Amino acid sequence: MKLFVSEGNPHCLKVLAALEDTGVKCDVQFVNHEGTNAWLSQHLCQTRSLQYLFPPIYTPRYLFEVSGKGCTDLCNQWLEWETADLQPALQHALHVAVVLEKGSEVSKVLQGPLNHLEQSLTKASTAYLTGESVSIADVVLWAALYPVLSDPSIPLGERKTVKAWFERGAKLRSFQTAAQKVLQGKGLQGMKTYLQKQPIHLSTQCKEPCTN
Partner 1 sequence: QVPVLQNNSGPPLVGLVTIACHLVKESKCPDLLGDSAESRAVVQQWLEHRVTKLDRCRKEDTKIFLKDLDHYLRKVYLAGNHFTLADIFIYYGIHPLMVDLAVQEKEQFANVTRWFDHIQHYPGVRHHLPLITVLRNRIYISRH
Report how far residue 120's alpha carbon sits from residue 77's, in angstroms, rounded to the nearest whole number. 12
Give the max Cα distance, the chain.
48
Q: Which residues bind partner 1 (CB under 8 A)?
A: 46-50, 53-54, 57-59, 61-62, 65-66, 73-74, 76-77, 80-81, 83-84, 87, 203
Question: Residue 69 CB, nearest distance to partner 1 (Å)?
Answer: 11
Question: Residue 165 CB, nearest distance to partner 1 (Å)?
Answer: 19
Which of 87, 183 has the CB closer to partner 1? 87
Report how far residue 163's alpha carbon sits from residue 78's, in angstroms, rounded to the nearest whole number. 18
Which of 84, 133 has the CB closer to partner 1? 84
Question: Residue 128 CB, nearest distance to partner 1 (Å)?
Answer: 16
Per-position b or e across 150-170, b if 16+ CB within 10 A of its CB: bbeebebeebebbeebbeebe
Which of 204, 212 has the CB closer to partner 1? 204
Question: Residue 65 CB, nearest distance to partner 1 (Å)?
Answer: 4
* Cβ atoms 14, 57 nearer than 8 A: yes
Give the three-state DSSP class for 5. Answer: strand
Which of 158, 208 has the CB closer to partner 1? 208
